[in-house]
Amino acid sequence: MAQEKEIHFTGYEKQISNWTDLIPAERFTLLVLQTLTEVSKDPRGTYITNDRLSNIIGLSPTRISSTITKLKKKGYITVQRVGATGRYIKTRDYNHATLYTYH
């Protein structure tokens, strides 16, 4: 019998999917932001506009803005403003989370 292997979008997918305080759009947005934060070479996080994130996720820029605000209020991300319209988004460091474990 072949051994089954779990495949994850990110190393945090299973952990994030267990967070019941996030609706699906918030979960997916958080997964995308986590991945962009990980590949960003800037310690401030990822620099991304609502329009660009909208194209990636498939939600309107207004819905993206609302989702980012909700994720920020829930403590999943931090937002650092740069100039009049720019911002860096950084996700919480999930490596140090203690409430959730992988199985």
Query: What are the sequence ranges of the domains in the chain?
Result: 22-91
Buried b (16+ CB within 10 A) or exposed e, 29-64: bbbbbbbbbeebeeeebbebebeebbeebebeeeeb
Tell me which fold the domain 22-91 belongs to. Arc Repressor Mutant, subunit A (1.10.10)
Span of 2-11, 42-51, 52-61, 87-96 with lowest mean pLDDT: 2-11
DSSP characters for 43-85? TT-EE--HHHHHHHHTS-HHHHHHHHHHHHHTTSEEEEEETTT
pTM of the model: 0.75
Mean pLDDT within 26-35 = 89
Query: Using CA atoms, how far apart are residues 70 and 48, in angstroms rounded to an integer?
Result: 17
| Residue 83, C-beta contacts closer than 8 angstroms, at least 6 positions apart | none
pLDDT in tens, 13-30: 667 667 789 998 998 899
